[in-house]
Amino acid sequence: MKKILLTSALILLIAGLAPVSVSGEENTTQSTSAVKESIAKEEKKESSVEENSKSETLPKVDVQEDKPQKEGWYQENQNWRFYQDDKPALNWKQIQGKWYYFDQDGNRLHSTIYKGYAFGQDGVMIENSWTKLDNQWYYADSSGRLAQNT
């Protein structure tokens, strides 16, 4: 009896270690009602997507880029301008202790005489000194006014 048990155990052991290949065919079935339900859900999704795309047309929004505000000195079209709050200075303007005059377009006057005041090449009003403009000498007093009949 021991021989039979020993032989049976040995055969089972060998059978357990031997590679076994199994092949089979997958067979899935669905009921027709489940298939119809699935198709109906897909159609519903597609129609709601179409409705959403039609109804969600967003209005056009004009986007304007923020341009940087001009502050300080800018050279434009061969003229110097001084900007404050994005607007060019007009008429008289004192900048860092020096007087300048700007015309109606905001252009700084330079190398000229305007209403009895002389302006150097740098556009600064001349004060307390002599200056030569257009081959003529002029004297400006402490207020910048040109002396008359000297």
Averaged pLDDT score across all residues of the chain:
79
Contact 143, 127 (CB under 8 A): yes
Dihedral sign, Cα of residue 109, residue 113, residue 117, residue 123: positive
Query: Is residue 109's pLDDT more than 70?
Result: yes
The pLDDT, as a whole number, for residue 5 is 73
Query: Where does 69-114 sit in CATH, by number?
Result: 2.10.270.10
Q: How far is CA 141 from the centre of its chain?
A: 51
Distance CA 100, CA 123 (A): 6
pLDDT digits (tens, 9 = 90+) for 36-59: 666 666 666 665 555 555 556 667
Closest CA to 74 of 43, 104, 106: 106
Average pLDDT over residues 89-104: 96
% of the chain residues with pLDDT over 90 = 45
The Cβ of residue 100 has, within 10 Å, a number of other Cβ atoms equal to 20
